[in-house]
Amino acid sequence: MQKTGVALLGLGVVGSGTYKIITEQREKIKNIYGVDLSVEHILEKDKTKAQALGIDLSIVSTDIQNILNNDDIKIVAEFFGGTEPAKTFLIKCLLKGKSVVTSNKELVCKYFGELEAAAAKGKAGLYFEASCVGGVPIIRTLTDAMQANDIKEIKGIINGTTNYILSKMADEGVGYAEALATAQKLGYAEADPTADTEGYDASYKLSILSSLAYNKHVPLTEIYREGINKITAEDINFGKEFGMTLKLLGISKNSDGKIEARVHPAFIDNNHPLASVKGSFNAVHLLGNNVGDIMLYGRGAGDLPTGSAIVSDIVFAAGKKTHRRFDFIKQKFNAKDFVSDFTSEYYIRMKVTDKAGTLSKISGIFGKFGVSITTVLQKPPTDNSGIVSIIFITHVTKEKSISSAIDSIGKLDGVNEISNVIRVER
């Protein structure tokens, strides 16, 4: 049995986890899958990380040429994160015919076309299962298990940090700032949490998943994005009164060849399977035209869950004589293929002066813009200010209609504040 040489770019949390899995599972992988994995070189500046893992320092360096010039290395796994130098290094590896495995969702999302072109030219493979939803095999499901289906919809909790924050707010009644601080203390959120809390991380993943699901490049520029920083415990509690749970969702739909893709907070019914996904766990719900509903659930991050997906891709790549090509990435972008004015139900909370005629004026503006209301809930005043909270739930309507109506309502005398507008997904 011939060895498959592997190089690791970085020994951070996931890189170290991957090395541990390769080392511990080497004999099992060899005996069951007929692949003998051998880590031949590691790119890492901090050699103490290698020493902590008992790695021979003679295979550790900071020079990519040590990997490019080593013909025994067939597969390169990248753990740098960000776009540079990862992009430059990986394109060089692909052009040299070395297959690439990565968990770098930002890199794959933004430079899918360039990476695939280099892979095709070098007759190498590009594998990125770990880029989306950690150890959950969502990409392999989309590319290797759904051939008999047209995928109509993806709806998922694809960022563990925000799911932890929203779960803590819902379960313990704490505010956003306190929940975020706890997430940071536990290591679920970075010191600068922007990528997670503003929806960037989820948008990268949704771009990748939607492109694979619909066999059409869904670029980041076509994904509507909204984070969770405006969510309050008050909104979550009001949602509970309507039998709903709040999640940051990645949603994409393919209808009659038109694709919509969006990342934003959304209320879902408590009986929806995604509503029970708590803490840092992730889940993705797929709808196929023949198979119907499928949901995958598991840990979306961490050294061993993500390392598990990385090693799975390494074994998968090692067993391939030819590699899958993502030809759809070559298609010319056409904005007409994407929906800009999507539809949804909406939860709208506002503070108004409790006086005759205010609700009638608000209802009139909703009617003017074609927004139909299913439910109105007025909460009693909490002090002597005469200000009350009113919550509206709408029928399905267009995003632009809601936006126009809210702009006009906000200018009414007696409307003190449009507190929040949150989409409702059924």
pLDDT in tens, 32-70: 999 999 999 999 999 999 999 999 999 999 999 999 999
**Structural domains present in the chain:** 3-131 (3.40.50.720), 138-299 (3.30.360.10), 343-425 (3.30.70.260)
Q: Report, as an integer, the average pLDDT of 110-123.
A: 97
pLDDT at 153 over 70: yes
Q: Report, as an integer, the average pLDDT of 332-338.
A: 89
More confident residue, 231 or 385: 231
pLDDT at 1 over 70: no
Cα 10 from Cα 80, distance rounded (Å): 6
Cβ atoms of 55 and 42 within 8 Å: the answer is yes
Cα 7 from Cα 28, distance rounded (Å): 20
Mean residue pLDDT across the chain: 94
Q: Which of 244, 168, 156 is nearest to 208 (CA)?
A: 156
Question: 205, 216, 247, 253: which is the annotated catalytic residue?
Answer: 205
Q: Report, as an integer, the average pLDDT of 124-147.
A: 94
Cβ atoms of 19 and 314 within 8 Å: the answer is no
- Annotation marks residue 205 as catalytic: yes
Q: Report, as an integer, the average pLDDT of 132-155.
A: 94
pLDDT at 372 over 70: yes
pLDDT at 374 over 90: yes
Cα 234 from Cα 182, distance rounded (Å): 19
pLDDT at 175 over 70: yes
Q: What is the pLDDT of residue 333?
A: 84
Say what the pTM is: 0.94
What tens digit of pLDDT does each residue of 275-324 get? Answer: 999 998 999 999 999 999 999 999 887 788 899 999 999 999 998 889 99
Two tokens at 406? 């809210």
Tokens 């889940």 found at: 283
